[in-house]
Structure 1
Amino acid sequence: MVVVPEEDFMSEINANTRTTIILCIVALIIAITVGLLIVNSINKAVIILKESALALAQGEWEKRIEIKRTDELGELARAFNSMADQLADYNSILEQQVAKRTLELQQEIAERKQAEQALVESETRFRLLAEATFEAIVITQKGVILDANQTCAEMFGYELSEVIGMQVMDFTAPECREQVMQKILSGDEGIYETICLCKDGTTFPAEIRARVMSYRGRTIRMAAIQDITSRKRGEEATVLAERNRLAQEIHDTLAQAFAVVIVHLDTASRKLTTNIETAQALIKAGRDLAHSGLTEARRSIKAMRSQLLEDENIFNGLNRFATQMFSPTNTRIVCQAVGKIYSLPPDVENNLLRIGQEALTNAFKYAKAQEIRIELAYWEKQFSLRIQDDGQGFDMGSVSIVNSFGLLIMSERAERIGAKLTIQSSPRQGTEVIVTVNI
């Protein structure tokens, strides 16, 4: 039997007790830490749920919770997201229904306004009558004027008080009264033109728009009268412009072709006794040009578009025109394009071709050039045509040159398409024609 001293025994017990206490304290700290972490995790999830719920309450329907957990909080987050999806769908449906109902209400309001407007028809018509000052307005019954606006009185040279009670025929030129009376008796509501008669005996062309309607319990005829003097003058100017255009087309076809034919025949007549082969070539070229000019004239009158552009572009058209014109001569033709060739608007291309033809025809008739250069520059936003010869040139200040019909037509064609035309020439220094147009 071993006897352990009490001091040793108690010392060991005390040591074990201290160890146990320390372990308990450590375990408690760990438990508290783990508990705090768990509480913090739960608090974060709850805060996220709270913020998402508040956002959803404020109409942020796209707000969703992104908590990837498998516990009850994860289930709660998924349930919340599902609820948010349903609420977003319900909100979308509600907005559609509100928009639909709003449209229905707007239509109902519009219909109600129309109904109210119909109830005050007389007042509205009078207001429109007063406001329609841009043309004469008259209300008639059986050809007698019941009411009119101030513009009507001013248009015909009367006082407004004089107009009321007058006959419609009093405002109509004698040669048109039968036409106007037929319109009134038949209740015609179309648009027609007539000649109106003023108080001082002068007349003016007018356009009449009439409508039969109910007014204060009576069937009346309301007519709007518009002075179309300016329009008629514009139409006359258009006709005159068309005549000028036709004159230009004739100049660009028959005149150009036969001018060249005459030059060829004159040269051929001088060569008949000295060089029969050259004379025959000139006569053949003249005959071909005459046929070509006649065909082109017929084609231009029919379609107003150059045959040279029918199946090709302006580059090939001018090249072919120059080659055909100068083939019997010793003149060298150089035709080149700068940049990539592209299509031009038909009207621009046709007018540029005509300007080029006129420049080449003038060079053929007057320049006596050894070389003619044709350059077409195709830039990104600009196109230019340059025709240059080394012939005898001319004095730019000469009256006959300034008043030349051909140069005048060239200028008009350039102006028509918004192009800039430049002509440079001096005696024995050749001539250069440049046309530039923005694309």
Structure 2
Amino acid sequence: MLDLRFVREHLDLVRRKTEERQSELDLDLFVSLDARRRDVLARVEQLRRERNEVSKRISRKDIEQQDRKSLIDRMRAVSAEAKSLEKELRAVESQLDDFMRVIPNLSHDDVPVGKDERSNVEVRRWGEIPEFDFEPRAHWDLGPALDILDFERAARMSGSRFVVNKGLGARLERALINFMLDLHVNEHGYREIIPPFLVSYETCFGSGQIPKLEDDMYYCLGPAQIADRGDEPFRSEEWPGLFLVPTGEVPLVNLFREETLEEDQLPLNLTAYTPCFRREAGTYGKDQRGLIRLHQFNKVELVKITTPDASWDALEQLTSHAETVLRRLGLAYRVVSLCTGDLTFASAKTYDLEVWFPCQKRFREISSCSNCTDFQARRAGIRYRPKSGKSRLVHTLNGSGLAVGRTLAAVLENYQQPDGSVKVPEVLVPYMGGVETIAP
């Protein structure tokens, strides 16, 4: 969330930055609402001062009865007008707040300007793209052939875009999770967290998923609301309403919501394994097969909370930590800087890590590493107290370290053998109980 005064004082900058992000926000509406709010507020404050002055005059003992009656009449008129304007002020402030909630973060100046992913800029590559002396198979064919992935039974249970991991497929998924967590905790210095997988509306607002991405999230109804839920999510004191986490970023960023940290507590480096749940609204027809786009998937998340002056170096470090996972697994990848039109709502700058998929003969995203500057911190109320001066908003960063299902898919495709088996990456063998090959 941006600061209202900043938007007012840098309107041309905000207008240009939102246009570069392909946003259709009408900032003229902001100007109108902001001006109306200030006009009404000034009148309300004037009426409050007049009301206080009249009240003092009425309370004087030496005032004439006729004058007192006139003042009482004036007090009633002032109070009635103030009450009406206060109601209008609340309505205007609500409209203005709703508008501020949907203004995206401002992109960093070195983010490439562009409309969509076609304008993303490759930053670097690592690893050699494997060459096969046979026709490589897709992971959605390899998995069932090895009896480690079952899409058909998952579909019977839950519908499309679900999978059942079986046997060594389940073990490989767990091996990847444990390998990633151990790497980030033991070598990269992150603190492991096991957060709730159900979170509140306010939590989702704090990290920026709501209101922009609410349609892509799973909302949990209480028993009494299932039959009569209406069009809007139902929230009450008895059932405040909870969302299944779309990413571990949501609970990790909000771990310190409405808190003021001490400067010497920063940076905070947090990691968590979570299942993630997404409706994938608007992706009909995309990645219908395989593990690339599921409604439920596992992910290891990385979050950094830093001082503002340290956040850009922290982004490079966080990205390198995600890259290390791919390097240890021996998977060829590239790093791409997302253009303005491809940035997520809360991000000021994002690097995507894209791993090579032999069957598709293309790189596919496996991690997004973002600096959200103070955008999430303002929404979530996360501040820190410098050694001198007033408290300030922290900067928050997040990245996948990595998306587990996509990593498993990349391992299957890149490590497949001519006989249909899959070699287990050396770094995962200890996590697989010594299993070196997954064979039919």
Fold match (TM-score > 0.5): no
Q: Name the TM-score class by shorter chain.
A: under 0.3
Larger radius of gyration: 1
